[in-house]
Structure 1
Amino acid sequence: MARLSSAVCDHLAALTEPTPADIATLLTQSLMTRPLFCDLLVHAPLHLERNVSPETVREFKILAIAAYASVAAELQRLFGLDQTLAGDVVTVAVSMAGALRQKAEPGPRLRELYRSDPELSHAIADVPPQLQRIIEALIIGLPQRSEPPRH
């Protein structure tokens, strides 16, 4: 998690005037190159966090919040977003990556069913382009900054 946010922040820090498409591409590529991370995104709150001590959950959450905040801070800098909106972009990107990845990897038996039945063929998600469109649309729909980004 820390490596992902660090890599994303390094790439974001190098940008001066990114477009929503640039950010969507960066976030999508960063998440899609980490399939295990995307799988764990779904399982952490549903299973993993419920079966460990509160101290372990606390340690995990502190690291997760710090990673989230560092990416959100870069989005604030680049787009002049407030903390809440920048955080929403990170939340949507990460949440959708986890959810869509589950659709993309249904398991061998269901995959065969989906591929063999034209009515179900849409059930297997083509995650990267779909995730990129979702993130880009979200960023485009956010309020425009009222002042130039801080560098």
Structure 2
Amino acid sequence: MAAGVGCRRLLGLRYSVAVPHHRSTRVSVSRVPCRSTTLSRRSNLTCGELAGTLVATLAERPLFCDLLTHVTLSLEREVTYERVRTFKHAAGNAVAVLTGAISTASALDRGQAQELVIAIIALTAPLWQAGHPGESLARLYREEPDVAHIGIDFEPTLTRLLAALCDGLAHNKSSMEAPG
């Protein structure tokens, strides 16, 4: 794998990634100011507005979306204990900040916001890849439209799914309680 270095912001979080070979993967996350797409200055967002803000922010960060696909496949497996520990702590801190921002900007409580963040991570990786096929697959879809049976448009698809999940979480507080 060729060396790749990137520095991006996601909802007020700055992350830098160096991926020379999986073993030297480094990810750091720190809080820095971001543009108007941040949630920090927003409140009383509807689920649709919240989902739209989150997805627009993701769509502006293709490197981050690409990396989400590789986190569990490679970046958490092919690294040393020290690196994965550092990454998991940084990721945990980033999730905590994002969870707080979501709960402040919307009707979701922290537990519901955390569930939404889990869904964002789980849905973004495959939907990003499906919505941004490689060159050969894109050519196949153009030349043989009947094969393009699952043509996904990333932003509206993820926005719709996250808004529906947010609505469900906001209206079903009992689903957040541990079974027992």
Same fold (TM over 0.5): yes
Structure 1 residue ranges, 4+ long, deviating more than 4 angstroms after superposition = none
Between structures 1 and 2, the one with greater strand share: 2
2:48 corresponds to 1:48: no
CA RMSD of aligned residues (A): 2.5
User: Partners in 2 of 1:9 and 1:92 — Cα distance?
Assistant: 23
Could you tell me the TM-score, scaled by structure 2's length?
Answer: 0.71
Instruction: Check 1:81–1:9 CA distance in 2 against 1; reply closer, same or farther (3 A cut).
Output: farther
The residue identity in structure 2 corresponding to 1:16 is S
Q: Deviations over 1:82-136 (max 9, x none)?
A: 4332111112122212111111222122211122223222333210110110111
- Number of residue pairs matched? 146
Instruction: Check 1:100–1:8 CA distance in 2 against 1; reply closer, same or farther (3 A cut).
Output: farther
Further displaced range: 20-29 or 67-76: 67-76
Q: Deviations over 1:23-78 (max 9, x none)?
A: 01110011110001101001011012211101100101111111111111122234
Aligned counterpart, 1:118: 145
Instruction: Give 1:57's match in structure 2, choosing from 84, 91, 95.
Output: 84
Instruction: Give 2:93's match in structure 1, choosing from 66, 76, 80.
Output: 66
Further displaced range: 111-120 or 61-70: 111-120
Structure 2: stretches of 5+ with no match in the other structure: 1-6, 13-33, 174-180
User: Partners in 1 of 2:78 and 2:127 — Cα distance?
Assistant: 25
Instruction: Check 1:20–1:8 CA distance in 2 against 1; reply closer, same or farther (3 A cut).
Output: farther
Could you tell me the TM-score, scaled by structure 1's length?
Answer: 0.84
The residue identity in structure 2 corresponding to 1:98 is A
- The percentage of counterpart residues that share the same residue type is 35
The residue identity in structure 2 corresponding to 1:141 is G
Contact 1:76 1:86 in 2 (8 A): yes
Aligned counterpart, 2:10: 4
Deviation at 1:5, TM superposition (A): 3.9
Aligned counterpart, 1:37: 64
Structure 1: stretches of 5+ with no match in the other structure: 147-151
Instruction: Tell me which of the two structures has the higher relative contact order, counting C-alpha pairs closer than 8 angstroms and 6 or more residues apart.
Output: 1
User: Partners in 1 of 2:126 and 2:172 — Cα distance?
Assistant: 30
Instruction: Check 1:119–1:78 CA distance in 2 against 1; reply closer, same or farther (3 A cut).
Output: same
Instruction: Check 1:126–1:102 CA distance in 2 against 1; reply closer, same or farther (3 A cut).
Output: same
Aligned counterpart, 1:85: 112
Contact 1:81 1:145 in 2 (8 A): no
